[in-house]
C-alpha cells in the first residue's frame, strides 16, 4: 500500500469515526415523575469533581440533575 493510500485510509477512518460518534448522541432525558422530555435549565461546574453538572426542569415542575 502506498503512503498516499495509507493517508487516505487514515483520514477516511477518522471522518467515519467522527460521523458515527455524532449520530450516537444520548436521547434527551425524561422526567422521573411524568415521563415527558425535560428542558435544560442551568449548567455549572462542580468544584469537587471538576465535572459539569446540568439541571433540567419539566413542565410538571420536577427538577433534576444530570452530568454533562
d(CA 36, CA 61): 11
Rg (CA), the chain: 20
**Would you state the cell numbers that stand for residue 20, as one nine-digit string?**
458515527
The DSSP H or E segment spanning 18 is helix 3-23
Alpha carbon 18 to chain centroid distance?
A: 14
- Is the entire prediction scored with pTM above 0.75? no
30, 37 contact by CB (below 8 A) = yes
**Would you state the cell numbers that stand for residue 43, as one nine-digit string?**
449548567
Cell 425535560 sits on residue: 38
pLDDT tens digits in sequence order for the chain, 68 residues long: 555 554 544 445 454 444 444 556 677 788 989 989 999 999 999 899 899 999 999 999 999 987 65
The pLDDT assigned to 8 comes to 47
Amino acid at each position: 500500500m502506498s503512503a498516499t493510500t495509507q493517508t487516505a485510509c487514515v483520514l477516511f477512518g477518522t471522518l467515519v469515526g467522527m460521523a458515527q460518534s455524532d449520530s450516537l448522541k444520548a436521547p434527551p432525558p425524561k422526567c422521573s415523575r411524568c415521563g415527558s422530555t425535560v428542558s435544560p435549565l442551568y449548567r455549572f461546574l462542580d468544584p469537587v469533581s471538576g465535572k459539569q453538572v446540568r439541571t433540567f426542569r419539566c413542565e410538571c415542575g420536577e427538577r433534576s440533575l444530570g452530568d454533562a
